[in-house]
Amino acid sequence: MKGKKYIAAYICAAALAWILASSAYAQAPTLPLKRSLELAEETIAKTSVDLKKYYLFSVTLTNSSHGQFWYLTYRAIVPSEYNELFAKVYMDGSVDLSGGPFSSNSGY
């Protein structure tokens, strides 16, 4: 009986280690970061937002049910009504904007 408990504990530990190791591995992006920045800035330039009033605060590579994307956060240089803008740049080159004037889709 004691041996079965050790085997069960070993199997559970091995399964947990496999799950943690596989979730820690991220697929390399197919869209370079430099190109994602260009696409985000081109998309924002087509709106009423003056990107010169913002700086790039953070960039994160993440996943969603729609696929892998770069998540770009822009912050206002001088605090204003719209302090942050967000751009999701998917690996196919599509861009979704949110935050600031894009929260209500009034910026498109």
Residues in contact with 29: Cβ distance below 8 Å, sequence separation at least 6, in sequence order: 61, 68, 70, 91
**For residue 44, is it within any domain?**
yes
The count of domains in the chain is 1
Euclidean distance between CA atoms 72 and 55, whole angstroms: 11
**Rounded distance, CA 56 to CA 106, Å?**
22
Instruction: Evaluate whether residue 9 is within a structural domain.
Output: no
pLDDT per residue as tens digits for the range 2-33: 666 656 656 655 555 555 444 445 689 999 99
Tell the residue number behind the tokens 């924002």, with chain if given: 44
- The pTM of the whole model exceeds 0.75: no
Please indicate, yes or no, if residue 6 is contained in any of the structural domains.
no
Give the pLDDT score at 6: 59
Is 40 a residue whose pLDDT tops 70?
A: yes
Structural domain of residue 37, as residue ranges? 33-102
For 69, half-sphere exposure in the C-beta direction (CA atoms, 13 angstrom radius) is: 20
